Every structure is written in C-alpha cells, then in structure tokens.
Amino acid sequence: MPTISRKGRLMPESPIRKLVPYAEQAKKNGKFIYHLNIGQPDIKTPDVALEAVKNNTVEILEYSRSEGSENYRTKLAAYYKKHDILVKPDDIVVTTGASEALLFLFSSIMDPGDEVIISEPFYANYIAFSTATGVNVVPAVCNIDDNFALPPIETFEKLITPKTKSILICNPGNPTGYLYSKEEIEQLGALAKKHDLFLVADEVYREFVYDGASHFSILQLNDLDEHTILIDSVSKRYSMCGARVGCLVSRNKTVLQTVLKYAQARLSPPTFAQIASEAALDTPQSYFDDVIAEYVDRRDTLIKALQNIEGVKVATPKGAFYCIVELPIKNSDNFAQWLLEHFDIDNETVMIAPAGGFYSTPGLGLNQVRIAYVLNKESLLKAVNIIKEALKVYKD
C-alpha cells in the first residue's frame, strides 16, 4: 500500500478547525453555537471593496502578474507611506493570503533543518509552514502572568544557534493580542543585525491597537533593509478573510527575487480579489475609528466577564482581537469538545480554540483557550455565561 510522506504525517491539525465536525453535529442536533474559536469578524466589509467587484467591467478574467497587479502594489506603497513605512511598489509581492507569503518566505530564506525563533504562544499555522518546509521552530516562551510580554532580550539571544536563520513575530499578536513596543522592536532589530538574521513580522493586525498605543513596524527600523521582511493581509483589516489576498514586503532584493520564483510557480494571485483589495485601500479612516471603538468595547466587556469567573486567568490584549484564557481544567481539547457534544444552556453552546495548538513546547497551554472577540457584546456575555456554568459541572 502506498504511504503518506513523513511531512504529511507530521503536519499538525488546525487547533481552530479540528473541532468543526463536532460543531456541525451540534448544529444538526439543533444547538446554536457562539463561535469564539476563529478570527472571522462580524464587521461588515467596506462597501467600496464590494462595489468594486460588483460594478467592474472585466470581460476576461485574466492572470495578473505573478507579483500582483502594478496598480494594486502602487496603491499599497502609498498606504504604507501613510504609516511611515517607506517602500516602493517593486518592494511588494502580492500573495494568496498572508499564509502563502509565509510559506514562500520559509522556503526562500531557510533550508530543511534551519531554525526560526518565534515568541510563544504563536499563530498555529506557523508550525504548519515550518513542517511543510522542514524548518525547526525554536520557541521563545512568553507567560500569561507577564501578559505574554517578550522575554528579556538576553534570554531571547541565548536561543540563537548556528542553525538560526530568522526571528518571527506577530505584531499585534495572534493569539495573545500582545503589542510590541518600539523598544522591543529595536532590540530585536539589533539582535538580527548582530547575528546576521532575518527579522520577520506578521503585521496583519496593524490597525487594531488600543488604549492610545501606536504600532511600530519593523520596516521603520534604520539600517536593516537587508534583514527585515513584513507579512501583511487584507483579511482582518477590511474584514475580507475570504478574499485571500496578502503580501510580502521587503527592501531586500534577493529575498524578493527568490519569493517571486515561488510566486511564478503558482502563476498569479486571484484577480477579482485584487480588484476588491485595491478598492479597499480607499476605505475612509472613519471605518477604522468605528471598528477600533467596537473592538475596545468588546474586549473590555469580555475581560471583565471572564475575570468574574472563579479560577480563570486572562491576559489583557493591547491589539488584534484575541485573548488567551487560563481555565481551571486540565485539558482544554477535551473541554472544548465536551462543550459541543454534551453541554448547552437553552440549546446554546460555545466553540472555543484549545490553546495547546498555539504552543510548540510540549505540555504548555493545555489548560488554556484562545477566545476571539469577534461577536457583539450581547453574544459575548451569553457565551461567557455558558463557559461559567459549564465549568461548574465539567469533570476532567
């Protein structure tokens, strides 16, 4: 019998999506589910993006350029300039989501057996990309008691070995909502330069920062053009997860030329989605002002409700729309499945993401879950109440 590849066997299941069959069965059984498990905002996509697709005059849905349309990349460069990130259209390769950008990048800058240091917990698919490319993840463990702050830079530096090729951060972070300070970014930049490493930042949540804080991009660092690589996406910024349009941005021409070879192999990013994404760049600031205010309101509502549950610990996010919650249980995988299969209040239950899949260190995160506060406040309060009542009767 033919066998599956080693990489295929090692490829992890999504901690976010692996519970879907249980959720689907619960729905078939007539239950309503509050989805706190996935970062799919209920925020409306900007009209300007939707209208661009509805009203376009395309008669032949052609391939675009492998690096993305010139018009879109030109408008992207102008967008970055507004955020004090000075790049040219030729510094940008448009990809099919940030996921493809990361997969191309891992293949471009690291060989099998090389190492990437990632602050942990981290976006679960980073493990999938590393597995697909044979790269080893070295976790820089962050702690809920420190609100998942970056470890001291001296501790971070001790993780660097001759196999280390890159450092990867998500800023603001998924799944923690942690926002890196300018000082932390500068420290990481200095470390990358000292050890001749790439510094990669996944900045897809750039707009979503709270409490008067501001986002500082790695591409704002001085004298690090050859080291810094930015990953971006329209998915969260414009509530366009289904568009599957992202990009890789760098001033390192060798990196861009290498990534482009992978982009050419998959031909081109989706044409209609680029039309929508280009139009989305005309979204007025008022849209983001309203969205940020809404997320702050939801965050505060969620955190307050969770803190009122005995035995629960929660980190307060400063950006994005996720938080990690520590529960008085042993195994969040079992608890999440049990919620879907065996618990409800008035035929309503909750779907959460077990946090163990956001760690690569064995044993960490087993009593934690990630919650995405992408529902309205009333739904968040109902969902938290279900969790509260469930914890009273759940047995590990």
Going along the chain from its start, the domains and CATH numbers come out as 6-44+286-393 (3.90.1150.10), 47-280 (3.40.640.10)
What's the confidence (pLDDT) of residue 8?
Answer: 86
Residue 26: strand pairing partners: none
Question: Which tokens hold the place of 294?
Answer: 């809404």
What's the confidence (pLDDT) of residue 17?
Answer: 76
Edge-to-edge strands of the sheet including 246-250? 92-95, 246-250, 228-233, 198-202, 164-170, 115-120, 136-141
Reduce the DSSP state of residue 153 to 3 states and report it.
Answer: helix
Separation CA 153–CA 217 (nearest Å): 18
Reduce the DSSP state of residue 246 to 3 states and report it.
Answer: strand
Separation CA 314–CA 383 (nearest Å): 16
Q: What is the pLDDT of residues 147-162, one digit of tens each?
A: 999 999 999 999 999 9
pTM: 0.94
Question: Which tokens hold the place of 64?
Answer: 């675009």
What's the confidence (pLDDT) of residue 103?
Answer: 97
What's the confidence (pLDDT) of residue 233?
Answer: 97
What's the confidence (pLDDT) of residue 40?
Answer: 84
Collect the ranges in the chain with pLDDT lower than 50.
none
What's the confidence (pLDDT) of residue 14?
Answer: 77
Reduce the DSSP state of residue 219 to 3 states and report it.
Answer: helix
Separation CA 276–CA 283 (nearest Å): 11
Side chain identity at residue 39, one-letter code: G
Q: Which residue has the tokens 């409800």?
A: 344
CB atoms within 10 A of CB 57: 4
Q: Are the C-beta atoms of 259 and 105 separated by less than 8 Å?
A: yes
Separation CA 244–CA 22 (nearest Å): 26
What's the confidence (pLDDT) of residue 42?
Answer: 85
